[in-house]
Amino acid sequence: MVDISVAHAGLILQNSRMKPMTLKYKLSVVITLLVLILTFDQATKKWAVQTLMGQSPHYFLNGLFQFVYAENPGAFLGIGGGLSREVRFVVFALIVFFGLGGMLWYLFKGEKSRLNLFAYSFILSGGFGNLWDRVIHESGHVIDFMLIDIWGPIRTGVFNVADMAIVAGVLLAIYGEIRYKKSKAEFESVK
């Protein structure tokens, strides 16, 4: 049996080594990831327009990976693409803008986990990358250009670097939640 005071002391020692995140640290992480991801996202979308637009798909790894140009007026997998331009702007630009702003506010005011800081920074960066497309393109579309075709009907939708950042952020957040619940359960079992 584990001595509760030893386990508790271990958690206190572990937490004491982790200094609280300062606003300056949070800003540096968010701004760095935002600039890097947004720059890479926009550069690859520009490349896609110049290289892939109007062309047949480029296949790699026996068709597993493809570069194929697409303009997505909707959200994930084209959801809502049939809505009018005005409704899409409200839903996919204004609401997303305020949602990302709320996430940013939470990161600066409430977030305590470094892992979540990175996870939500990836999501923010990807969200702003796609939001930028919606605002600068007259039709309000997002440029997508990558596709993974696993086998038969098992394939991704066409996606871009911003989408990859969003997925990476969501996966990091899920991992963080699993890790938190596991450590909480271990601590509870020691009591």
- Tell me which residues are annotated as active site: 144, 163
Residues 6+ apart with CB under 8 A from 171: none
Q: What single-letter amino acid sits at 147?
A: L
CB atoms within 10 A of CB 110: 8
Contact assessment for residue 145 and residue 178, using Cβ atoms and an 8 Å cutoff: no
Pairing of strands 154-155, 65-72: unpaired
Given CA atoms 188, 169, 84, 134 in this order, what sign does their dihedral have?
positive
CB atoms within 10 A of CB 160: 24
* Euclidean distance between CA atoms 56 and 177, whole angstroms: 42
* Euclidean distance between CA atoms 117 and 120, whole angstroms: 5
